[in-house]
Amino acid sequence: EPEVTQTPSHQVTQMGQEVILRCVPISNHLYFYWYRQILGQKVEFLVSFYNNEISEKSEIFDDQFSVERPDGSNFTLKIRSTKLEDSAMYFCASTRISGGANSGANVLTFGAGSRLTVL
C-alpha cells in the first residue's frame, strides 16, 4: 500500500526558530496538502499545492508559512519564526485528483504527522 511519509515525527524548537517539515507524497499523486491539528482539536486546512504553486490557502497560512516542492518528490512546509501557538501536529496529505473535481475519487491519503513543540 503506497504511503505518505513525513519527517521528523517529532521536533522540539525554541520560539523564533525556523522549522522545516518534510513530506514525501505518493508518487503518482498530483495534489498536496498541509493540515494542522492542535492537540485533540479540529483538523485545520493550511494550504493546497498543485503544479508547483499554491492553489488554495487558509487565513492561518500567513507570511510565516511557505511551501515548496524542491525536487519533484519532497513537499516541505517551512515556518519562518515559530510561535508558541504553532505547537501542533502537522499532517501532509496527497490525492491524485483535485479537491474540486466531481469525480468521487479525490480521497486524501495522510501521513502519520509531525508533532511540533515550540518552547
Residues in contact with another protein by CB under 8 A are 4, 31, 33, 35, 41-45, 48, 50, 55-56, 58, 89, 91, 93, 98-102, 104, 106-113
CB of 42 to another protein, least distance (A): 4
By C-beta, is 75 or 91 nearer to another protein? Answer: 91
By C-beta, is 82 or 114 nearer to another protein? Answer: 114
- The number of CA neighbours under 13 Å toward the Cβ of 105 is 5
Return d(Cα 7, Cα 25) in angstroms, integer.
Answer: 12
- The number of CA neighbours under 13 Å toward the Cβ of 21 is 33
Name residue 118's beta-bridge partners. Answer: 13
User: Hey, what's the cell of 17?
Assistant: 526558530
CB of 116 to another protein, least distance (A): 14
CB of 27 to another protein, least distance (A): 18
Question: Is the Cβ–Cβ distance between 92 and 6 less than 8 Å?
Answer: yes
**Of the candidates 109, 107, 63, the residue with the CA atom closest to the CA atom of residue 83:** 63
By C-beta, is 41 or 117 nearer to another protein? Answer: 41
CB of 94 to another protein, least distance (A): 12
